[in-house]
Amino acid sequence: MSATTLSLSSVQKSFAMVRVLEAIDLDIAKGERHALIGPNGAGKSTLFNLISGAFAPTSGSIQLNGASVAGLVPHKLNRAGLGRSFQITHVFDKLTVRENIRLAVMGRFGKRWSFLRRGAVWDEIDRETDALIAGANLSPQSETNAGDLAYSEQRAVEICMTVGTGAEVILLDEPTAGMSREETAHIITFIRRITEGRTLVMVEHDMDVVFNLADRVSVLVNGRILVTGTPSEIRSDARVREAYLGDGEH
Amino acid sequence: MKTVLYIGAAIAAAALLALPIFGDLGTMNLVIKIMIAAIFALGFNLLWGQAGLPSFGHAAYYGIGTFATIYMMNAIDRGGWFPTPLLPLVGAGAGFAFGLVAGWFATIRSGVYFAMITVALAELVSAIALKWEGLFGGEAGIRSIRTDWGPFSFQSTTSVYWLTLIWMLLVMAFLFGLQRSPFGLVVRGIRERELRVRFLGYDTHRVKTLVFAISAAVSGLAGGLLAISDESASMVLFQGSGSAFVVLNTVIGGAGVFLGPVIGAALTTSFAYFGANLSHFWMLYLGIAFVVTVMYAPQGIGGAIAQRARAVKAGEKAAFGTGDLIGIVAFALTFLGLIFLIEITGTICSEQYRASIASAKGVWPPVRLLGYDFNPLSPLPWLIGLLSLGAGIAIVVAQPHLRRPRLLDLVTTKAEAGK
């Protein structure tokens, strides 16, 4: 296995008296596409929110390339190399597609406090923005307000933004939720292409998507990681079948 | 539609340039006040329209700008070197400095909580201004005079007019550029979804603090121009009505359109100027106008014009149709009815009128309205008022297109606009 990018050890999270996650140990390698699955209430979203910095773990450590990122505020976490997308689409409704994505790319080039568009860096920002838009097949809609796009297109904008910040580790929360079969197929191709050479961590319900996209899968049950393995290992694991896959379609 | 806009801008520019030649002193003073109110409202709207932060305490920064400028004017008068034409920058600097501190605290929260903090800070400043009579001059306020600078004399109203006009254009260019700059994009992103902007790597609290400070600086600059124009400042500036008026101007004019606040400032300032002479109850009419705007054109007059312009461009509506004419008639009738009822009721309930009844030994003197004398005891003026009001309302009820937009209409219009 190549170098570890994201490493969680004995991560535990409690809300008031309720222990939602206990002793999570997880190492995700550089360039790996890793999926978190599990039945409802298993703690997937909590784990995702811990990694993405929405809240801090009660105990344990989360390290990104050897440096602790547990409990960092969102903008610092992003600058450390972690980019997240949201389960409920979080695009800027009243900004155009181009503005949405430029906002992400601008920050990556350190242009967070620019009052003027001066210098060659802006050409680079524009090029990068256009490349992301083209990659998502959104070029014809680049001047459309993001709020007026179809749902799957908004997800694509959302993912473009996450990637556009230059994040090394991309976190996707249910990237295909609420999409039709066709849209799902389209977005999987898009995610595979755009996360090439990056590390991907995603929470996903759709098993087709998981087995199609992920290199490794972790199954969460009752706040613990039941098993981590390749899609085929997971598919044939008796415990997983019992705990999760056996209880019907998702 | 673009040509209409350019023609409109050309007419406005010509009128502003010609005013010092043809206009009388009163009109020139009115336009100076309009321009100051416009700058103030534009500064306020940077915070509201662009960043989505409703400040209800902006009078504080306006007043601070006025006082800072008055103090600098006195310093110049005593032999200071500061150039008079740059005085508004003193107001802007003071506004910026206070805005930076106040903004840092206020922008920790958003929405209602943000608004509450701005109100509290404004009240704090107002209370301090009341107590520190030595600094703020108490009820009487403090006075100063304009000093000439080099070859430029600033004694005439005309010179103040030109100075205010130039500063207004500079502020407009600055704010327009800011809106289109990369920083402006970050600010609009915060208005749409602050959390997402944070996850894109931006420290939104610092961005909001800076926007707040810039907004306060523009408000302070407007206050500085007021100091130059009035050559005085008093703690009345810090009272709540100042904060309320700038909100009123922006809502009536339209927060979503760049020049919307200017339209609002022009309308309410003119209304206050003329209305105050015509009626004791002008504030009530202004309040009614505000409520009607919020109900029927929540996007403001500027927004309504922009919306109509888009519809005309798309070929959906005529620039002016019979529907609009009916609307104007309905509005005029309603307003006429209201004027009758408000003026007569208001007059006969006043202390002055009671006194004149007593002196006329119980005879009710006539009430003068729109150039005619009406006997308040006869049913005639009341009938005119009620019938006119009723007719206006009846037209609105009978004409579906005049009814106020329902929530569903607003939603579908939005969806259709996206096609």
Task: Kindly report, residue by residue over B145-167, the tens digit of the pLDDT.
Answer: 898 888 888 889 999 999 999 99
Query: If you measure CA to CA, which chain B residue comes closest to A105?
Result: B200
Structure tokens of B385? Answer: 């008022």
Give exposure, A68-100, as e/b (b: 16+ Cβ within 10 Å).
ebbebebbebbbbbbbbbbeebbbbbebbbbbb
CA-based nearest distance A71→chain B, Å: 14
Closest CA to A32 of A156, A229, A199: A199
Nearest CA in chain B to A143: B418
ipTM of the assembly? 0.79
Average pLDDT over residues B11-29: 89
Using a CB-CB distance cutoff of 8 angstroms, which residues of chain B are in contact with residue A84? 199
pLDDT > 90: percent of chain B: 52
- Segments making up each domain of chain B, as ranges: 12-242, 323-417
Residue A233 has pLDDT above 50, yes or no: yes
pLDDT tens for each residue of B291-336 = 888 888 888 999 988 888 888 888 888 878 888 888 889 888 998 9
Q: What tokens were used for B32?
A: 């100076």
Q: CA A125 to CA A148: how far, in whole Å?
A: 24
Decide if pLDDT at B21 tops 90: no
Statement: residue B417 has pLDDT above 60: no
Handedness of CA B95, B98, B99, B102 (dihedral sign): negative
- Please check whether residue A19 touches B, CB under 8 A: no
- DSSP class of residue A14 equals E
User: Which range has the worst mean pLDDT, A80-89, A93-102, B180-189?
Assistant: A80-89
- A92-141 pLDDT tens trace: 999 999 999 999 999 888 888 888 888 889 999 999 999 999 988 899 99
Contact B189 A91 (CB under 8 A): no
Q: Which residue of B has its CA nearest to A78?
A: B201
What are the backbone dihedrals phi and psi of residue B126, each rounded to the nearest 5 degrees, phi first?
-60, -45
Residues B212/A88, Cβ–Cβ less than 8 Å: no
Tokens of A83: 């980019």
The kind and range of the H/E element at A68 are: strand A67-68
Angle at alpha carbon of residue A158, lines to A152 and A159, rounded to 5° = 95
On whether the CB atoms of residues B256 and B49 are closer than 8 A, the answer is yes
User: Quick one: fold of A4-84+149-247?
Assistant: Rossmann fold (3.40.50)
What's the 3-state SS for chain B?
CHHHHHHHHHHHHHHHHHHHHHCCHHHHHHHHHHHHHHHHHHHHHHHHHHCCCCCCCCHHHHHHHHHHHHHHHHHHHCCCCCCHHHHHHHHHHHHHHHHHHHHHHHCCCCHHHHHHHHHHHHHHHHHHHHHCHHHHCCCCCEECCCCCECCECCCCHHHHHHHHHHHHHHHHHHHHHHHHCHHHHHHHHHHHHHHHHHHCCCCHHHHHHHHHHHHHHHHHHHHHHHHHHHCEECHHHHCHHHHHHHHHHHHHHCCCCCCHHHHHHHHHHHHHHHHHHHCCCHHHHHHHHHHHHHHHCCCHHHHHHHHHHHHHHCCCCCCCCHHHHHHHHHHHHHHHHHHHHHHHHHHHCCHHHHHHHHHCCCCCCCEEECCEEECCCCHHHHHHHHHHHHHHHHHHHHCHHHCCCCHHHHHHHHHHHCC
* B222-264 pLDDT per residue, tens: 999 999 999 999 999 999 889 999 999 999 999 999 999 999 9
Closest Cβ–Cβ partner in B186, B197, B418 for A145: B418
Local confidence band at B362 (pLDDT 50, 70, 90 cut-offs): confident
Task: Tell me the nearest-neighbour CA distance from B209 into chain A, angstroms.
Answer: 13
Rounded CA separation A42/A227 (Å): 13
Which residues are CB-neighbours of B13 under 8 A, at least 6 positions away? none
> Are A74 and B418 a contacting pair at CB < 8 A?
no
The per-residue pLDDT of chain B, averaged, comes to 89
C-alpha of A157 from chain center: 13
pTM: 0.85
Chain B residues whose CB is inside 8 A of the A94 CB are: 188, 192
Partner-chain residue, chosen from B183, B202, B419, that has the shortest CB–CB distance to A115: B183
Q: Is residue A91 within 8 angstroms of chain B, CB to CB?
A: yes
Domain extent listing, chain A: 4-84+149-247
Give the model's confidence band at B405: pLDDT under 50 very low, under 70 low, under 90 confident, else very high.
low
